[in-house]
């Protein structure tokens, strides 16, 4: 699965799952573009990747603003001349302070769909014309097992991730004539800064986890819902993505694949 000379944009790529995906793609020699709102952290992550011996760059990109992501794409083309892989990873669980409320607020619904759905559409719309011209490309959208079955604690997030899966299918069909593969990956339970907030919310509002530290909530849920009884990692997600963006997966498109330790066996 050699990815040398391939250029990959990873939105939300500075930390968490995005950084983990980048670390795996670096091992396969892909050039990594770290696209993130946090300029300083994006620069540090890109520098770390460059130190591993691959070309890399950081761009400040707000996926909710088409002009921002279009400028980032232009900057990438000016540096590399082509874009081969787009990883739509940027996402939120809700608006600021979402984890302190027992219910989904109006602003949580807006934030989830602005970032998780429209953000993916904005990035795809900015990059896909480049791939159409090349008549080649790989797009991966990060969904969630929450998009497989609604979670009462986070209905806005679950609905947005279900929309990601549906959008993936639609765009895969649209772009197939241009030799562009579009797939979604549905992570299970990964310990990230976002999940730390999820744990705090469960500890406050779910009697099953009342009063537990966030990490203990997470560990308990692993035992409750994961048949393999182990957490997933950003590297697990990156390993699947490395396969999906390689030519080994050239006939896989429009799929949503779980990486969840067996949580959803359907």
Strands in 12-158 per DSSP E: 31-36, 56-60, 85-88, 137-142
Distance CA 253, CA 172 (A): 6
| Residue 157 annotated among the catalytic residues of the structure | yes
Q: Could you tell me the CA-to-CA distances from 7 to 1, 12, 81, 153, 244 in Å, in that order?
A: 14, 16, 9, 38, 15
Distance CA 253, CA 255 (A): 5
Long-range contacts of 163-171 (CB under 8 A, 24+ apart): 163/113, 163/116, 163/117, 164/116, 164/117, 164/120, 165/256, 167/117, 167/120, 167/121, 167/141, 168/141, 168/143, 168/254, 168/255, 168/256, 169/254, 169/256, 171/124, 171/128, 171/139
Bridge-based pairing of strands 180-187 and 137-142 is parallel
Catalytic residue, chosen from 157, 167, 202, 209, is 157
End-to-end CA distance of the chain: 28
Q: Sheet holding 256-259: strands in order across?
A: 56-60, 31-36, 7-11, 85-88, 137-142, 180-187, 256-259
Residues noted as catalytic:
157
């Amino acid at each position: 699965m050699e990815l040398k000379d391939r250029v990959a944009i990873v939105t939300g790529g500075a930390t968490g799952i995005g950084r983990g995906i980048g670390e795996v793609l670096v091992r396969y020699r892909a050039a990594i573009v770290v696209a993130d709102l946090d300029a300083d952290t994006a620069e540090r992550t890109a520098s770390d990747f460059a130190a591993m011996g691959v070309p890399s760059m950081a761009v400040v990109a707000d996926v909710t603003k088409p002009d921002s992501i279009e400028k980032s794409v232009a900057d990438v083309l000016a540096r590399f001349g082509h874009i081969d892989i787009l990883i739509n990873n940027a996402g939120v669980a809700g608006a600021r302070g979402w984890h302190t409320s027992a219910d989904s607020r109006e602003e949580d619904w807006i934030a989830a769909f602005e970032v998780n759905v429209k953000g993916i559409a904005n990035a795809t719309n900015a990059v896909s014309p480049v791939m159409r011209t090349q008549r080649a490309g790989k797009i991966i959208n990060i969904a969630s097992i929450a998009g497989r079955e609604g979670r009462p604690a986070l209905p806005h997030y679950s609905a947005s991730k279900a929309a990601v899966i549906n959008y993936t299918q639609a765009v895969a069909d649209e772009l197939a004539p241009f030799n562009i593969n579009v797939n979604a990956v549905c992570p299970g339970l990964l310990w990230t800064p976002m999940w730390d907030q999820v744990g705090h919310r469960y500890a406050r509002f779910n009697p099953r986890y009342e009063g537990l530290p966030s990490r203990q909530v997470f560990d308990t849920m692993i035992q409750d819902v994961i048949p393999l009884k182990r957490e997933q990692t950003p590297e697990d997600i990156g390993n699947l993505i490395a396969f999906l963006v390689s030519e080994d997966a050239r006939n896989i498109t429009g799929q949503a694949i779980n990486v969840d330790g067996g949580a959803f066996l359907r």
